[in-house]
Amino acid sequence: MRRLLNTLYVTLPDVYLSLDGENVVVLQDSEILMRVPLHNLEGIITFGYTGASPALMGACAEKGITLTFLTASGRFLANVTGMEKGNVTLRKTQYRRSDNETESIAIARNILIGKLHNSRWVLERAIRDHALRIDAEKVKRASEQISNSIPLLKQVRTSGELFGIEGEAASRYFSAFNELILHNKKHFYFHSRSRRPPLDNVNAMLSFAYTLLERDATAALCTVGLDPYVGFLHKDRPGRRSLALDLLEELRAPLADRFVLTLINTRQIDSSGFYLKENGAVLMCDDTRKAFLSAWQTRKSEKISHPFLKEKIEWGLVAHAQALLLARTLRGDLDEYPPFLWK
């Protein structure tokens, strides 16, 4: 359980939330784990199925506190809200800024600064930890090229320029990605990114990790009242959660990519757990997918220090923190969107 930017996150899956006077009480087997005054909160987000009392739901609705229910794995279920207040204004601001190229680029630029920074430091971490086992010069060149691209982002004026710089940096990053795979390269190798469909074991794992991360980003955006379908970097397309994909960009390398590399390099995933379809797609079998999901939940529970908030939070809450910061940027509480800069 953690309070973050006036939002209470209840991450234990087997607790019940109730109302005691003007306080929300977190109970586990009738034992009180936490008591928080409602007047200190803007939102309550709970992971799990145990639930909350009708009295607490009513109090939250009356006081304008959004009560959000997610599954234990982080999939969005529902919000309990009273009369709509701030979310209408927030979403209208989101829509206006998404339609305004100058304002949209200001947010998209910072998202990509976060992506390139984090991609670079994944490579730098590999050099630091495994310099004698990899082609360190090749990885270093890719890192330097990505680093040189970051100042260019600050000068762009069109979305086309943004995507050009991002595409080149992504190409540099993935050109060195195979060096980060340390074991069983006969079955776990990376030549290039293949998406629809994934054409090898590593791409199958990356695609699945990105899908899980997109789901988490969607839930995070819904909890703060933002529309996950209206983005700033990724533009509108029917059925595409463009803003969730925006939020995903900053976390691809430090969370999803490093997670996949860890599974391979620590031999938690075996090459026998994949199968080839007639169209060339490589997919994980059911047992491998279950092991992947279990390890993903474990990784999300690990704590890091958030570089902007200066607080220790779980990896699984980073998307929620960034969604909160984005909402505050759109409300005018922050001058600009602070990207997640991992190191």
Is residue 123 within 8 A of residue 146, CB to CB? The reply is: yes
Return the closest-CA partner of residue 133 out of 100, 182, 205, 99: 182
What is the per-residue pLDDT across 181-211, written as a single tens digit (0 to 9) for each?
998 888 999 998 988 889 999 999 999 999 9
Report the C-alpha gap between 263 and 256 in whole angstroms: 11
Angle (nearest 5°) at CA 217 between 178 and 127: 25
What is the per-residue pLDDT across 150-185, written as a single tens digit (0 to 9) for each?
999 988 888 889 999 999 999 999 999 999 999 888
Enter the pTM of the model. Answer: 0.81
How far is residue 223 CA from its own chain's centroid?
A: 14
Is residue 9 within 8 A of residue 1, CB to CB? The reply is: yes
Report the C-alpha gap between 293 and 103 in whole angstroms: 37
pLDDT computed for residue 73 by the predictor: 66
50-56, long-range: CB < 8 A, 24+ apart:
50/13, 50/14, 50/15, 50/16, 51/16, 51/17, 52/16, 52/17, 52/18, 52/80, 53/16, 53/17, 53/18, 53/19, 55/18, 55/19, 56/17, 56/18, 56/19, 56/24
pLDDT computed for residue 181 by the predictor: 93
Regions of the chain short of the pLDDT cut 50 = none
Backbone angles phi, psi at 115, to 5 degrees: -60, -50
pLDDT computed for residue 94 by the predictor: 95
